[in-house]
A and B are shown apart, each in its own frame.
Chain A
Amino acid sequence: MQLRRKDLLGIAELTAEEIQLILDTADSLKEISTRPIKKVPTLRGKTVVTLFYEPSTRTRMSFEIAAKRLSADTVNLTVAASSAVKGETLADTAYNLEAMQPDLLIIRHQASGAPYYLAQRLKCGVVNAGDGLHEHPTQALLDLMTVREAKGRLSGLKVAIIGDIAHSRVARSNIWAFTKMGSEVTVAGPATMLPPYLAAMGVRLVYSLEEAVRGADVIMMLRLQLERMGQWYLSTLREYSATFGLAPKHLALAKEDVIIMHPGPINRGVEISPEVADGPYSVILEQVTNGVAVRMAVLLLLIGGGT
């Protein structure tokens, strides 16, 4: 099976069937990472370039490990070492990379839509590894995979996403992902971070953490960007933490088998207390493990054809 598309740019344009295919493929590939020799030859001879204009540790490493476990060659280009600092445009950088004939370009960029811009111009495939405030599709896919493993299903679940929804590409991708798979999504945060237009994406908006987590099967906490304080999105960290930080007392409101997720990196003691992050309901590290499997699946489904 293949995805009938050149690029993976966002969850918004994927069908439930395509998501299913990626998750099923990821499930079957997950076992490779537990072998003593963690490598299969599937993508031998393929070249995967990661082009990161924003700092990232786990996402880039996760893509790189995924590519290597499938035997693809990987090249990493970071913004600090690239020509961007010399004033080269994104398009010129991409054309130059493409001239070296990679099979896939994995891009993270601070501008929403940058991967779309490249996908329209390049013949090679483009994978969005996070664009501005827009989408982070592989994060949502690994979140779906983690929830499906824990719950055995994705439909009919109550999912609460809490934090700075306005500025979160993880939230956007997950809203699309969970609603497409038949779950009910509630988003919560202060109104400064919760634009009312979100309702058009098919989610419920509440301004109370307690209300959001009541009866939830899944609680997803978002990282608070600390620079938001300077733009009056919140008053103090102390108040944010007291109002929208997830603490052990909240878990009693949720379903008994609730799972706690976080895309990382965690601000311990801000949006999530250490007891919850490290507690028995947390699947935060499982998310990271599944990230490799999901990214292997994406690479395989996009450039694994014809082998």
Chain B
Amino acid sequence: MSLLITGGLVVDPSQDLEEVRDLLIEQGRIAALEPPGRLPSEGRQVIDAQGLVVTPGLIDMHVHLREPGEEYKETIATGTLAAVRGGFTAVAAMPNTKPVNDNAATTRFILDQARRAGLARVYPVAAISVGLKGEALAEYADLKAAGAVALSDDGRPVMNALLMRRALEYAHTFELPIISHAEDLDLRADGVMHEGVVSVRLGLKGIPAAAEEVMVFRDVTLAQLTGARLHIAHVSTAGSVDIIRRAKAAGVPVTAETAPHYFHLTEEAVEGYDTNAKVNPPLRTTADIAAIKTGLADGTLDAIASDHAPHSSLEKDLEFVAAAFGLIGLETSLGLTLQLVHEGVISLSRAVALLSTNPAKILRLPGGTLAPGAVADVTIIDLHQQWQVDVHSFASKSRNCPFQGWRLKGKPRYTIIGGQLVWQADQG
């Protein structure tokens, strides 16, 4: 069975390509990429992609699928359905499940569940420390053998600098990147939103930008010391962008991601004590948004990841201080990123690099390219389709999305994984 995608604008930063091409998929791999009309369509399933954009499958390198342990918030099946509906062919799943993914058995369980779901590829990120407790190193060799692609204590940052140093070195041994959730817990204290004019007005305790920045600085310094690969998760402040830019200029092996809420929302979103806007790191200021946009455009920030963090009403329908941190993003991430393209902040090719090529490179995943021979993970996007965010239509089990009602332009039309058409938007 072969699949021919005809007449689409192929945007593939891995080949520096942005031209109309026909794309042939055979046996789960990209078989050919040719100017229109050269590849015969007889006997092939054809997708007419005229007027659409064809990209390497999108990869969300930072999601929480909540399984095992919190299946009432999300399961691997519902999370990967949300992923394919959002245009993502693969996701990297963070280890703060119950039990924590700090062992090969849990890693294999996650992969088994993903296989059963048969939707987006799931790449487990395992824990840096046993139980995310910041005390002992997890078994990285075992975890890698079981299928883990990176290590992170996301949500429970490594406060001990020596442990972080050793983790970087030990991970380096097995060629695994460390993903740093950069946050100084002492400086955060009991803060619940960005420390600034809005927190002072609302009487909510603040989380200063410095709580992130001192740890970004610590970790790039340790990456420089050890030569190990470091990836900074969910960058939210102008200061962090600046530190990462300087580290890259100095040759430190660091990459970084941000999330759509950090370039679309500010601390003002918390007004009215909206718990859907309670997220960690917190929503910052317009100056931070400007710096993050610059960082996305100039290459300081390598990836956009949603930090999809499902919570039920049990965690969110509460007083602001009592509510959990986190918001969901798999089904809005592409639209919110394309907004930057429509605004002229980044090019279309750069958006695809941020959402596909670079995450694949950072985590050393198959995909992120449409070069012949590559795995046939493909996303086909209607760049101009207008739509309105409606959380009630989401495949995710959770509804904690601060973008409810937003009007966006650009939506996935087809999600193809390993040559199989896994999801297709309703026409009409």
Interface residues of A (CB under 8 A from B): 12, 89-91, 109, 111-114, 116-117, 131-135, 166, 169, 172, 195, 197-198, 200-201, 231
B-side contacts of A201, CB under 8 Å: 197, 200-201
CB under 8 Å from chain A, chain B span 306-363:
317-322
- Interface bracket on B: 20 to 34
- CB pair B201 A116 closer than 8 Å: no
Query: Contact partner of B203 among A89, A90, A169, A200, CB < 8 A?
Result: A169
- CB pair A133 B197 closer than 8 Å: no
Tell me, yes or no, whether B28 is within 8 Å of chain A by CB: no
- CB pair A116 B321 closer than 8 Å: no
Tell me, yes or no, whether B217 is within 8 Å of chain A by CB: no
- CB pair B203 A132 closer than 8 Å: yes
Given contacts A116-B272, A195-B195, contact A109 B200 (CB under 8 A): no
3 nearest A-B pairs in the assembled complex, by CB-CB distance = A134-B203, A113-B273, A111-B319
Contacts A/B (CB < 8 Å), 21 sampled = A12-B201, A89-B318, A90-B318, A90-B319, A91-B318, A111-B320, A111-B321, A111-B322, A112-B273, A113-B273, A114-B319, A131-B203, A133-B204, A169-B203, A172-B201, A172-B203, A195-B200, A195-B206, A197-B195, A197-B196, A201-B197
- CB pair B319 A117 closer than 8 Å: yes
CB under 8 Å from chain A, chain B span 190-205:
195-197, 199-205
- CB pair B321 A198 closer than 8 Å: no
- CB pair B320 A198 closer than 8 Å: no
Minimum distance in angstroms from A158 CB to a CB of chain B: 22
- CB pair A198 B200 closer than 8 Å: yes
Interface residues of B (CB under 8 A from A): 189, 195-197, 199-206, 272-273, 317-322
Q: How many A-B residue pairs have CB under 8 A?
A: 63
Chain A residue with the shortest CB-CB distance to B192: A112
- CB pair B205 A133 closer than 8 Å: yes
Alpha-carbon gap, A62 to B261, bound state (A): 45
Given contacts A90-B319, A132-B321, contact A113 B202 (CB under 8 A): yes
B-side contacts of A109, CB under 8 Å: 319
Alpha-carbon gap, A4 to B318, bound state (A): 27
Alpha-carbon gap, A195 to B318, bound state (A): 27
Alpha-carbon gap, A198 to B197, bound state (A): 7
A-side contacts of B203, CB under 8 Å: 112-113, 131-135, 169, 172
Minimum distance in angstroms from A53 CB to a CB of chain B: 10
A-side contacts of B197, CB under 8 Å: 197, 200-201
Alpha-carbon gap, A201 to B203, bound state (A): 12
Given contacts A112-B204, A112-B273, contact A197 B319 (CB under 8 A): no
Alpha-carbon gap, A100 to B321, bound state (A): 28
Given contacts A134-B202, A135-B203, contact A117 B195 (CB under 8 A): no
Minimum distance in angstroms from B29 CB to a CB of chain A: 53
A-side contacts of B318, CB under 8 Å: 89-91, 117
B-side contacts of A197, CB under 8 Å: 195-197, 199-200
Minimum distance in angstroms from A262 CB to a CB of chain B: 20
- CB pair B273 A116 closer than 8 Å: yes
A-side contacts of B205, CB under 8 Å: 133
A-side contacts of B201, CB under 8 Å: 12, 172, 200-201
Not counting A117-B318, A132-B203, a sample of 19 additional A-B residue pairs whose C-beta atoms are within 8 angstroms of each other reads A89-B317, A89-B318, A90-B318, A91-B318, A109-B319, A111-B322, A112-B204, A113-B202, A113-B204, A113-B320, A114-B319, A116-B272, A131-B203, A133-B205, A134-B202, A172-B201, A200-B201, A201-B201, A231-B189
Alpha-carbon gap, A111 to B323, bound state (A): 11
Candidate in B196, B197, B202, B319 with the most chain A CB atoms within 10 angstroms: B319
Minimum distance in angstroms from B203 CB to a CB of chain A: 3
A-side contacts of B199, CB under 8 Å: 197
Minimum distance in angstroms from B354 CB to a CB of chain A: 32
Query: Contact partner of A112 among B189, B195, B202, CB < 8 A?
Result: B202
Minimum distance in angstroms from B236 CB to a CB of chain A: 18
Minimum distance in angstroms from A27 CB to a CB of chain B: 29
A-side contacts of B273, CB under 8 Å: 112-113, 116-117
B-side contacts of A172, CB under 8 Å: 201, 203
Alpha-carbon gap, A111 to B273, bound state (A): 11
Alpha-carbon gap, A135 to B203, bound state (A): 8
Chain B residue with the shortest CB-CB distance to A120: B272
Minimum distance in angstroms from B424 CB to a CB of chain A: 39
B-side contacts of A131, CB under 8 Å: 203
A-side contacts of B196, CB under 8 Å: 197
Minimum distance in angstroms from B182 CB to a CB of chain A: 23
B-side contacts of A200, CB under 8 Å: 197, 200-201
